[in-house]
């Protein structure tokens, strides 16, 4: 489903964002991507939605080789991947409802159908009562949920969540993680970048650790090595 | 039609930019309308004169009717003349009275004595006019010959000058409005840079992002064109009585509404092209 093969990303400044990373994530997996700030977690997400291209190596998502993906195909790729951005990227002049509606509008779903789908997702995420509020009227946890709702509204096969618990207290963080693992149980592949050690420890999921752009730990590889 | 809604929201949020865009477009289309009216009008006046190959000979006051008759038959005998009409002093006064019936002051001052009798001679071919006019000028009884070829050639050279000025002015104004539109749409795009980035990241296609801006540009141009045309048409309508007395005898006024609507239609199409083109240039420049 997702495969990074010997991927390196060198930025214009000469700094390596990623160095020789190889990993793969199967369908319906839940993966934690951990590592300190600047270790390359966000860079991997940006590669996966083809916001940037790798300097070396190949990135494959859903049989698409992103290094060869023509520009006009990028919107199709992005509709298949839901992203909860670290800085949320919500539109502050639109209501919660309108923010979540946006991916459907972009896709050209019929208005009635789209509105019904937004209601469904907002109910599922538990923020239906805030649907007519503007982002500025919401708490951090609620904003995070809006971002998750927007990422889910197109029923993507893959959900990327970049530090979704970054600014939240531990109780709210747990709620968000619970929400993401529910989504995963319904069949969506989830990759969550975090540096919240508690959460990673308490949830027995696959962990991929990065440090200074290098892969330092991948449970799956370890397990396979143990099997051998 | 979602993009129309988002364009209208843009317009509502920064009305001054919208106002500037509409104003410059209005100015451009006001100029286009005025020159269209002027050039169409003058070309019709020229057609009118050209369709009536005519030379008018005015007689001296003391000329006797016999001499006039002699000249008339001399001209007729050339075989080039389609019609000859004699206008006596009394008839000239009648025509004068009819043309100035709304102005009693002018009527009081003029009597049949001071108006000359004349012969209005039409030829079959416009090229025969010079020969006829030479014959008339040769007669000792004729005080003045008005030869419409002169009027036509004067009008033609005037119209050519007006057309050059008009086309030059329209080109300059179209360029100015294009650049102003590019700037305004460019400002719009920078104001919404963050929104655009977000929309791209959630899978919006280039055209989905472009359409609202293109529509916005077309909207300004069309509104500007409609206002410019309305002002020009109203000015034309209000000045019709004055112009008809100025162009008396030349049947080009009042201007038919069908012609006005044809002008409007052509201007709207041009406005859409201009609006689309300038916002498309802005989109190419600022949305990469």
Give residue-wise pLDDT tens across range B171-203.
Answer: 998 898 899 889 988 888 888 888 888 888 888
Question: Mean pLDDT over residues B128-154, rounded?
Answer: 74
Res. B271 pLDDT band, cuts 50 70 90: very high
Measured between CB atoms, does B287 come within 8 Å of chain A?
no
Judged by CB atoms closer than 8 Å, whether chains meet at A72 and B206 is answered as: yes
Residue A3: which of A46, A49, A63, A83 has the closest Cα?
A63
Tokens found for residue B243: 């112009």
Which chain B residue shows the shortest CA-CA distance from A87?
B198
For residue range B83-95, list pLDDT tens digits in order.
777 777 777 777 7
Tokens of B263: 């002008």
Between B49 and A25, residue with greater pLDDT: A25
| B218 or B240: which leads in pLDDT | B218
How sure is the predictor about B255, in pLDDT bands with cuts at 50, 70 and 90?
confident
Q: What CA–CA distance (Å, rounded) separates B153 from B67?
A: 32
Model pLDDT, residue A220: 67
Chain B nearest-CA distance from A159, in A, is: 12
Residues of B with CB below 8 A from A76's CB?
203
Residues B218-236, mean pLDDT to the nearest whole number: 92
Total Cβ atoms within 10 A of residue B53: 20
For this complex, say whether ipTM is above 0.85: no
Q: Residue B119's beta-bridge partner residues? A: B57, B86
The single residue listed with the structure tokens 């618990």 is: A165
Higher pLDDT, B170 or B139: B170
Label each residue of chain B as H, E or C. CHHHHHHHHHHHHCHHHHHHHHHHHHHHHHHHHHHHHHHHHHHHHHHHHHCCCEEEEEECCCCCHHHHHHHHHHHHCCCCEEEEEEECHHHHHHHHHHHCCCCHHHHHHCCHHHCCCEEEEEECCHHHHHHHHHHHHHCCCEEEEEEHHHHHHHHHHHHHHHHHHHHHHHHHHHHHHHHHHHHHHHHHHHHCHHHHHHHHHCCCCHHHHHHHHHHHHHHHHHHHHHHHHHHHHHHHHHHHHHHHHHCCCCCCCCCCHHHHHHHHHHHHHHHHHHHHHHHHHHHHHHCC
Say if residue B61's pLDDT is above 60: yes
**pLDDT in the model for residue B249:** 65
Per the CB < 8 A criterion, the answer to whether A117 and A104 are in contact is yes
CA–CA separation, B48 vs B53, rounded Å? 10
At B13, list the tokens. Answer: 């949020």
Closest by Cβ to B201, choosing from A51, A72, A105: A51
Tokens at residue B231, please? 């002002």
Closest CA to B62 of B150, B171, B143: B143
Query: What is residue B149's predicted lDDT score, i.e. its pLDDT?
Result: 66
> Is the Cβ of B208 closer than 8 Å to some Cβ of chain A?
yes
Closest CA to B100 of B249, B237, B252, B251: B249
Longest C-alpha distance within chain B, in Å?
A: 98
| Measured distance CA(A195)–CA(A35) in Å, rounded | 6
- Asked if the C-beta of B203 comes within 8 angstroms of chain A's C-beta atoms, the answer is yes
**Residue A191 · residue A25 · CB < 8 Å:** yes
Least confident of A13-27, B135-149, B232-246: B135-149
* Confidence check: pLDDT of B272 > 90: yes
Q: How far is B187 from chain A (nearest CA, A)?
A: 18
Mean pLDDT for chain B overall: 81
Q: CB atoms < 10 A from the CB of B166, how many?
A: 18
**Which residue ranges of chain A lie beneath pLDDT 50?**
227-228
Band of pLDDT at residue B222, cut at 50, 70 and 90: very high
CB–CB contact B203 A76 (8 Å): yes
DSSP string, chain A: -EEEEEEEEE-TTS-EEEEEEEEEE-TT-EEEEE--TTSSHHHHHHHHTTSS--SEEEEEETTEETTT--GGGHHHHHHHEEEE-TT----TTS-HHHHHHHHHHHHT--HHHHHHHHHHHHHHHT-GGGTTS-GGGS-HHHHHHHHHHHHHTT--SEEEEESTTTTS-HHHHHHHHHHHHHHHHTT-EEEEEE--HHHHHHS--EEEEEETTEEEEEHHHHHHHHH-
Closest chain B residue to the Cα of A156, Cα to Cα: B202
Residue from A30, A10, A41, A4 nearest A188 by CA: A30
CA distances from B10 to B13, B25, B193 (A): 5, 18, 13
* pLDDT in the model for residue B94: 79
Are B202 and A150 inside 8 Å of each other by CB?
A: yes
Of B195, B197, B203, Cβ closest to residue A75: B203
Say if residues B142 and B58 touch (Cβ distance below 8 Å).
yes
Average pLDDT over residues B57-74: 77
Kindly report, residue by residue over B30-48, the tens digit of the pLDDT: 988 888 888 888 877 777 7
CA distance B78 to B84: 12
Tell me, what's the pLDDT at A228? Answer: 47
Distance from CA of A153 to the nearest CA of B (A): 11
Query: What mean pLDDT is predicted for residues B109-136?
Result: 74
Banded model confidence at residue B108, pLDDT cuts 50, 70, 90: confident
Both tokens assigned to A28: 């319906």
Tokens of A149: 């709702």
Burial of B265 (0-12, 13-18, 19+ CB in 10 A): exposed
Distance CA B261, CA A62 (A): 57
pLDDT of B220 strictly over 60: yes
> pLDDT at position A226, please?
53
């Amino acid at each position: 489903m997702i495969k990074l093969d010997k991927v390196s990303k060198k930025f214009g400044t000469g700094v390596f964002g990623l160095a020789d990373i190889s990993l793969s994530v199967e369908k319906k997996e839940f993966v934690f991507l951990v590592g300190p700030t600047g270790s390359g977690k966000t860079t991997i997400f940006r590669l996966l939605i083809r916001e940037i291209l790798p300097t070396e190596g190949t990135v494959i998502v859903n049989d698409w080789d992103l290094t060869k993906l023509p520009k006009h195909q990028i919107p199709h790729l992005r509709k298949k991947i839901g992203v909860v951005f670290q800085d949320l990227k919500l539109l502050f002049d639109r209501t919660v409802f309108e923010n979540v509606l946006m991916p459907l509008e972009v896709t050209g779903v019929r208005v009635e159908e789209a509105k019904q789908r937004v209601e469904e997702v907002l109910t599922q995420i538990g923020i239906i009562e805030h649907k007519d509020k503007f982002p500025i009227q919401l708490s951090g946890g609620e904003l995070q949920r809006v971002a998750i709702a927007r990422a889910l509204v197109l029923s993507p096969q893959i959900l990327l969540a970049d530090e979704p618990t970054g600014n939240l207290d531990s109780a709210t963080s747990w709620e968000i993680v619970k929400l993401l693992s529910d989504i995963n149980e319904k069949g969506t592949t989830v990759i969550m970048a975090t540096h919240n050690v508690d959460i990673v420890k308490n949830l027995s999921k696959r962990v991929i650790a990065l440090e200074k752009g290098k892969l330092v730990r991948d449970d799956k590889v370890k397990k396979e090595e143990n099997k051998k | 039609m979602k993009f129309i809604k988002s364009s209208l929201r843009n317009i509502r949020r920064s009305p001054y930019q919208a106002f500037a865009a509409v104003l410059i477009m209005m100015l451009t289309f006001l100029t286009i309308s005025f020159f269209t009216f002027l050039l169409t009008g003058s070309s019709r006046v020229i057609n009118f004169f050209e369709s009536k190959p005519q030379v008018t000979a005015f007689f001296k006051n003391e000329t006797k009717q016999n001499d006039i008759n002699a000249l008339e038959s001399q001209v007729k005998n050339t075989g080039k003349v389609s019609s000859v009409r004699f206008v006596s002093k009394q008839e000239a006064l009648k025509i004068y009275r009819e043309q100035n019936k709304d102005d009693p002051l002018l009527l009081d001052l003029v009597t049949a004595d001071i108006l000359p009798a004349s012969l209005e001679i039409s030829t079959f071919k416009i090229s025969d006019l010079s020969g006829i006019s030479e014959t008339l000028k040769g007669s000792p009884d004729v005080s003045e010959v008005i030869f419409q070829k002169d009027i036509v050639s004067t009008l033609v050279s005037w119209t050519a000058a007006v057309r050059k000025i008009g086309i030059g002015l329209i080109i300059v104004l179209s360029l100015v409005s294009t650049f102003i539109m590019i700037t305004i749409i460019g400002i719009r795009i920078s104001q919404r840079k963050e929104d655009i980035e977000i929309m791209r990241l959630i899978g919006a296609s280039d055209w989905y992002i472009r359409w609202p801006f293109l529509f916005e540009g077309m909207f300004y141009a069309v509104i500007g064109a409609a206002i410019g045309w309305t002002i020009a048409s109203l000015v034309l309508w209000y000045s019709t009585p004055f112009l008809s007395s100025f162009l008396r005898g030349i049947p080009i006024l009042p201007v038919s509404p069908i012609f006005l609507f044809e002008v409007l239609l052509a201007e709207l199409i041009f406005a859409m092209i201009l609006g689309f083109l300038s916002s498309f240039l802005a989109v190419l420049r600022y949305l990469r």
